[in-house]
Structure 1
Amino acid sequence: MIPLFLLTSLLLSGFFSQIDKCHAVFPIKEATIKDIHSAFNQNKLTSKQLVEFYLEQIKCLNPILKGVIEVNPDAIHEAIKADEERKAKKGSVWMSKLHGIPILLKDNIATKDKLNTTAGSLALLRSVVPRDAGVAKKLREAGAIILGKASMTEWAAFRSEGIPNGWNARAGQGKNPYVLSVDPCGSSSGSAISVAANLATATLGTETDGSILCPSSFNSVVGIKPTVGLTSRAGVIPISPRQDTVGTVSDAVYVLDAIVGYDSRDTEATKRASKYIPHDGYAQFLKSDGLKGKRLGIVRNPFYNFDDDKLLTSAFEHHLQTLRQAGAILVDNLEISHIETILDSSVSGEDTALNTEFKMSLNAYLKELVASPVQSLADVIAFNKKFSDEEKIKEFGQDTFLAAEATNGIGKAEKKAVKNLSKLSKNGFVKLMKKNKLHALVAGGPDISRVLAIGGFPGINVPAVYTNTGVPIGMSFGGLKGSEPSLIEIAYAFEQATKIRKPPTFL
């Protein structure tokens, strides 16, 4: 028998030889959408070549990283079509920034094609969706190529508190491409892993509470969690219509421009948020001097507590100084009222509200499917029991599912919970932002996500630092509803001033 440590060594040795092989496939690693379109226009690259490059990357790296759950068998055909369209319309200004660009969608975003939409669960394998999700439809209209589905924490980490970030029954355990043994964070883990490791140009993720900002932080990529309602949630396997939002990871602003807007299948939220969308889109706010005059709030406790880690403390203090030098006005040593309660989901009422909202929303989603092995949350729970070995029920459980199934609609407890969350948000984050006339709150790491989640507020993560062991940690910028223009200016200017991101090391 081969000793376990030797087996691991042999596997990783093969993995690194695969990485070297992949490096020779095509010279376009770390390319941005702007770079790719420049190559298109100069006839140095075709969409077909680009898709073939990413498919080879996936073939080489995904057996270890498991960032991609499924590849679109029609991706090359779609790329050829995009090349033909570009050739026919050469010189035309009509072409979208996403035309011919391969994008992965998180596996809870429905696509009406040959791909599955399962939230990583075997229970939804071979289910048939009625139509593309609203955001998938917009991507196709912009000419993007749906490359496949990104892996994710199963059921967006809502099955159980015991499920590891990045794990699902269909693909297994997703790996952080910087340090393979480190938490990739969730639940849009595969979306972040994939763009970090150059398995796609860009990806879509979803966030209810931290699921874009956290994996973006831990995988050293830019991630945008939009204002709730700015992007449609129609056709997305849900948790909570009050908190769910679809966002983007890497080259985030161009993708955001393509997916925002009204959707008749998500009428109330998208109509309410559409007033925030600027007339000429979001790319206009990619300004290198975007920090000038911006008032940025700093809440030291708890968003700069690094357990006496001198490297992190020093790095983030340096970043704060960079913000000042770039023209920002830092309002330091602020406090968010009742922050301890906000960060404890069992005390704030968030758990109570989400459990009820999840059962109602999921049951409604399942009823809309054309075909499905399961028709309700109760069916999913029963499926997991029946296939407990495959779904690792003994190891990870399904306690959150059981708690959600025990709910019975919006009652007094749920109304009280939602009211309390609104009160905490209004008297905490909103009051702080308005009182100090802030454009954004700045935090070291992704822990600001819960503050943003309970109020439906937007946030952006930007790569910021690497620990002594090579683990990435990002800088988070959060603002009030509709503040994406300011957040983009701030985040982009910070990114350009620091240029921290480096390719993954696969340690």
Structure 2
Amino acid sequence: MRKLNRPSIAILIAALVVGSLCASAPGSRAHKAADRLDLDTVTIPELQARRDAGKLTSAQLTAAYLRRIKAVDPKLNSVIHTNPAALRQAAASDARHRRGHIRGPLDGIPVLLKDNIDTRDLPTTAGSLALAGTPPADDAGLVTRLRDAGAVILGKANLSEWANFRAAKPTSGWSAVGGQTNNPYVLDRNPCGSSSGSAAALAASLTQVAIGTETDGSVVCPAGMTGVVGHKPSLGTVSQAGVVPISAEQDTAGPMARNVIDTALTFAAISGTESSAETARTSTLRGKRIGLWRLPTLGKDVDALMTRTAKKLRAAGATVVEVEMPYQERLGELEFPALLSEFHRDIDAYLATRKGPRDLSELIDFNRTHPEEQSCFAGQELFEQALAAPPTTDPEYRAMRAELNDLSRRSIDETMAAHRLDAIAAPTNPPAWTTDCKRGDNDVIPSSTPAAVSGYPSLSVPAGFVGELPVGVLLMAGNRQDAGLLSLGAAVERRLDAWRAPRYLPSIGGNTTR
């Protein structure tokens, strides 16, 4: 690390002192500046404009989010750790700002990381007590990019333990380290998995942006279920290094936010690509062609919402045509067996870099001997099946993965070509089910699979509500078409205007399933 010279140290200390005073004095200008912010709706460009005008500092913004976590998160259990260095990072950003050395749009912006993303200075647990000791030796590649961009690492978000790849019937949002994450809209409802804490924290305005991870649905489903935006990037655009894995063939980290603009800016930072935020601000639906994959199995209320969504998009100048996605049954047959083999390979490689269980076999033994790991559900059937799965050198496995890649890509490519589409839309999620450790999840949600298996991008934006519960619309496009998808998503977001703040209702009764 480069040594700071004496003037830099003096500036940093002064900023820390001011930030500390501001954060602790109830009547201070810092509190007033933060109190004037509508954290629910403010965007990163608006925050940076306030900062440039001298109306806000990163220290004030960061302190406001830390206060809100302390006040609101006891209802949610969405944050596992806050970062003791967050205010110092914010003060350092403010010092850079005064010197005119801004690193980009994310400089000074608080970011919450899913707790399966390695950080050298904070625990990274994947929700498991097996990793709850010493932090990793190095940052994940995407965390290095965030630090280089000047972002403030606010803390770690709760998640479905091991990204929901442990038990045959898990409960999304539960981990032995963090407990159960609740849906901010209705607290006894589930936030979906596995980036559940990232999504719930955003919905409750506990951070400006968050990073989730997805193998199949774990960014977009929590986003839809909690009424925020989630982007599953094209495979390979964001580094997989230092992220607790399921499968290198499908895993990717992705940005989440309360709006598409912030999502686009965060994607640019973690991928090193040019930001599409400016295009997203001016994007339009006029002349766009969108295929609607209805998925009526998600229920009549969701289907009715998709009908209303299509009507609004048509009124904005888009052409919406109904489509069916081919090859889905075969994808469903092949995906899980392939993931078992890939998980065994990839988790063994990751565990070898950490203190604790050294491989999957030792991890299974750990869970058997630690009752806290069984306090919601005891099963680890997926671990056991992965241990017995064929290796990834096996010809049968190789044939499965080759067929998966071929059919998933053809599913999207052929549908888009046949109808000359700019994107395919589908419901992201059903209304949230009640959380129940004994029953487990009710989450057979097929819309995420084509993009997840193919490695193509997908984006969930709020579409509306079924009663008190949010539902998203999922947009998919061709490989590496992330910028165009984010631009289209911003236009869809503006037209639907579907976001509303959660009310933290204890319960709404009714059925536990769709």
TM-score for the superposition, normalised by structure 1 = 0.86
In the TM superposition, what is the alpha-carbon distance from 1:23 to its structure 2 partner?
12
Aligned to 2:504: 506
Aligned to 1:325: 315
In the TM superposition, what is the alpha-carbon distance from 1:254 to its structure 2 partner?
0.6
Q: Distance in 1 between matches of 2:140 and 2:381?
A: 29
Aligned to 2:300: 308
Mapped contact 1:289–1:326 kept (Cα < 8 A): no
Mapped contact 2:276–2:487 kept (Cα < 8 A): no
Which of residues 55, 76, 80 in structure 1 aligns to 2:91?
80
Q: Distance in 2 between matches of 1:427 and 1:58?
A: 44
Tell me, what secondary structure is at the counterpart of 2:113?
strand
Mapped contact 1:109–1:117 kept (Cα < 8 A): yes
In the TM superposition, what is the alpha-carbon distance from 1:238 to its structure 2 partner?
0.6
Aligned to 1:361: 346
Mapped contact 2:176–2:375 kept (Cα < 8 A): no
| Aligned sequence identity (%) | 37
Q: Distance in 1 between matches of 2:190 and 2:378?
A: 16
| CA displacement 1:191-248 (0-9 Å, x = unmatched) | 1001110111000000000000000000000111100001111010111111001101
In the TM superposition, what is the alpha-carbon distance from 1:170 to its structure 2 partner?
0.5
Mapped contact 2:341–2:386 kept (Cα < 8 A): yes
Aligned to 1:421: 404
Q: Where has structure 1 moved over 6 Å in runs of 4 or more?
A: 22-25
Mapped contact 2:119–2:135 kept (Cα < 8 A): no
Q: Distance in 2 between matches of 1:489 and 1:260?
A: 17
| CA displacement 1:245-297 (0-9 Å, x = unmatched) | 11010121110010114xxxxxxxxxxxxxxx5xx432232144432222211
Tell me, what secondary structure is at the counterpart of 2:474?
strand
Q: Distance in 2 between matches of 1:112 and 1:243?
A: 25
User: Is 1:195 matched up with 2:205?
Assistant: no
Letter in 1 for 2:89: E
User: Is 1:252 matched up with 2:263?
Assistant: yes
Q: Distance in 2 between matches of 1:62 and 1:281?
A: 31
In the TM superposition, what is the alpha-carbon distance from 1:432 to its structure 2 partner?
1.4
User: Is 1:374 matched up with 2:366?
Assistant: no
In the TM superposition, what is the alpha-carbon distance from 1:393 to its structure 2 partner?
6.5
In the TM superposition, what is the alpha-carbon distance from 1:413 to its structure 2 partner?
2.6
Which of residues 184, 187, 190 in structure 1 aligns to 2:191?
184
Instruction: Give the alignment's Cα RMSD to 1 decimal.
Output: 1.9
In the TM superposition, what is the alpha-carbon distance from 1:27 to its structure 2 partner?
3.5
Aligned to 1:450: 449
Paired residues in the alignment total 452
In the TM superposition, what is the alpha-carbon distance from 1:408 to its structure 2 partner?
4.5
Mapped contact 1:444–1:474 kept (Cα < 8 A): yes
User: Is 1:340 matched up with 2:325?
Assistant: no
Mapped contact 1:384–1:393 kept (Cα < 8 A): no
Q: Distance in 2 between matches of 1:324 and 1:395?
A: 46
Aligned to 2:113: 105
Go from structure 1 to structure 2 and tell me whether the alpha carbon gap of 1:426 and 1:98 turns closer, same or farther (over 3 Å shift). Answer: closer
User: Is 1:431 matched up with 2:414?
Assistant: yes
Structure 1 unaligned segments of length 5 or more: list them: 1-21, 262-276
Mapped contact 1:166–1:175 kept (Cα < 8 A): yes
| CA displacement 1:89-137 (0-9 Å, x = unmatched) | 1xx6x54100001100110111111x10110100001233221111000
Q: Distance in 1 between matches of 2:316 and 2:292?
A: 16
Structure 2 unaligned segments of length 5 or more: list them: 1-30, 430-445, 506-514
Mapped contact 1:162–1:396 kept (Cα < 8 A): no
Aligned to 1:293: 287
Tell me, what secondary structure is at the counterpart of 1:112?
coil
Which of residues 228, 237, 256 in structure 2 aligns to 1:230?
237
Mapped contact 1:106–1:150 kept (Cα < 8 A): yes
Mapped contact 2:33–2:55 kept (Cα < 8 A): no
Mapped contact 1:291–1:489 kept (Cα < 8 A): no
Aligned to 1:49: 60
Letter in 2 for 1:385: R
Which of residues 49, 56, 61 in structure 2 aligns to 1:38?
49
Tell me, what secondary structure is at the counterpart of 1:252?
helix
Mapped contact 2:285–2:491 kept (Cα < 8 A): yes
Compare 479-488 and 65-74 and name the one that shifted more.
479-488
Mapped contact 1:462–1:474 kept (Cα < 8 A): yes
Mapped contact 2:390–2:397 kept (Cα < 8 A): no
Go from structure 1 to structure 2 and tell me whether the alpha carbon gap of 1:80 and 1:25 turns closer, same or farther (over 3 Å shift). Answer: closer
TM-score for the superposition, normalised by structure 2 = 0.84
Letter in 2 for 1:440: A
User: Is 1:461 matched up with 2:460?
Assistant: yes
